[in-house]
Amino acid sequence: MSLPFTSFNDVRPEVAAFESYEPGLSIAEIAEKYGLSRVVKMASNENPLGVSDSVRRALERNAGEAFRYPQSGNPRLVKALAAFYGVDAGRIFVGNGSDEVIDLLFRVRAVPGVHNAVVFRPCFGLYPTQARMAGVELRQAPLRADFSFDFEGLLKLVDENTTLVIVTSPDNPSGRVASVDDLEALARALPPACLLVVDEAYIEFAGPEYSLLSRLDSLPNVALMRTFSKVYALAGLRIGYAILPPAIADYMWRVRLPFSLNILAEEAALAALADADFRERSVELVRRGRVRLTEGLRALGCEVIPGLSNFLMFRLPEGSMSVKTLHEELLKRGVIIRALGGYHLPEWLRVSVGTDEENELFLRLVREILGA
């Protein structure tokens, strides 16, 4: 195949197919636009507790190190994660957010134009964009109508050229979790060349009993991906990691940009990992808020998907008002949530669990806007 470039403005066809990124309004821009003194963001599944004291101290303590290059390979963080999970350090990979881990998984595990990857639809937006950028065919099996996982349907898309399957559990945006038995059955049903990656970005909010972690030793073709962005409240510092088959971890390290995890992010991650109290408080707050938001939204006639994450997916009572109207009316009152049009779910919204006070504010405003 020959694709001659005729201009210095030509780019790879995969690149040409990308649309330009349209960032939403920032908190400051929304405050300005609607004349608000306070804006509450419940749109990006961030930790409502904010930066922990231990992380703040670690950042302050290490600010003077910012002129140095990080230690390539991040051996201290790798060691800490290996000890935390009781796995061999040779299985740990850390990157600049799960975003980088996902990007590298496609590029390391799939030959462009030959191999394919399989995920569900809808799915986290990074899977399709990074598959495209890698030139890898992405096959998508629809979730069931209630957003539960149809593993049979997924397996039908898998063939001898499938080298990567990614399942998100708890899922985003539904919050649904897969049972460990179903995940194990899926891993065992995949062809030998296929790696199953379970994206466990939100697993701490569901509980360890939903993770394949304890079964990894008997499932050599399974990898787990996690992040410091959610339960550890470090979304802005960009730290993701994975527990991989050792050979794949080794190759991921070889090709990763040497300093992709910056020196302050690494210190913050070490401090956060050691802070069990903050982690437990985060999980407790989210579990309590999830129950409260579910009850509150259902009392207003909304349909809420029973999720085990730090957000809930819901839709308004039939015939009440459009998603766009509710979304805008909330914005005017200083609360940002996520309308799921970008996930091709135009009837659905997603709200991140906030502090107790933020959850009450959100429910009060929805009640007011619906006129219920």
Q: Which residues would be at the binding site for ligand PLP (CB under 6 A)? A: 45, 97-99, 124, 168, 172, 199, 201, 227, 229-230, 235, 240
**Least Å from the CB of residue 239 to ligand PLP:** 7
User: Residue 46: which of 189, 297, 253, 232 has the closest Cα?
Assistant: 232
User: Residue 357: which of 302, 293, 281 has the closest Cα?
Assistant: 293
Q: Which is nearer to ligand PLP, 96 or 162 (CB)?
A: 96
Q: Give dist(CA 13, CA 4) in Å, integer.
A: 11
The three-point CA angle 17-18-19 to 5° equals 120
Q: Which is nearer to ligand PLP, 201 or 265 (CB)?
A: 201
**Least Å from the CB of residue 1 to ligand PLP:** 33
Q: Give dist(CA 47, CA 42) in Å, integer.
A: 10
Cβ pair 304, 297 in contact under 8 A: yes
Radius of gyration of the chain (CA): 21
Q: Which is nearer to ligand PLP, 165 or 365 (CB)?
A: 165
- Backbone angle region of 175, left / alpha / beta, with phi > 0 → left and psi within -120 to 50 → alpha: left
**Least Å from the CB of residue 126 to ligand PLP:** 7
**Least Å from the CB of residue 318 to ligand PLP:** 28
**Least Å from the CB of residue 203 to ligand PLP:** 11
Q: Which is nearer to ligand PLP, 45 or 116 (CB)?
A: 45
Cβ pair 136, 128 in contact under 8 A: no
Side chain identity at 309, as an amino acid letter? Answer: S
User: Residue 262: which of 286, 237, 284 has the closest Cα?
Assistant: 237
Q: Give dist(CA 14, CA 124) in Å, integer.
A: 19
Q: Which is nearer to ligand PLP, 94 or 335 (CB)?
A: 94
Maximum distance among all Cα pairs of the chain, rounded to whole angstroms: 62
Residue nearest to ligand PLP (CB): 97
Q: Which is nearer to ligand PLP, 240 or 334 (CB)?
A: 240
**Least Å from the CB of residue 104 to ligand PLP:** 12
Q: Which is nearer to ligand PLP, 124 or 314 (CB)?
A: 124
109: its two tokens: 């595990």
**Least Å from the CB of residue 201 to ligand PLP:** 4
Q: Give dist(CA 314, CA 303) in Å, integer.
A: 5
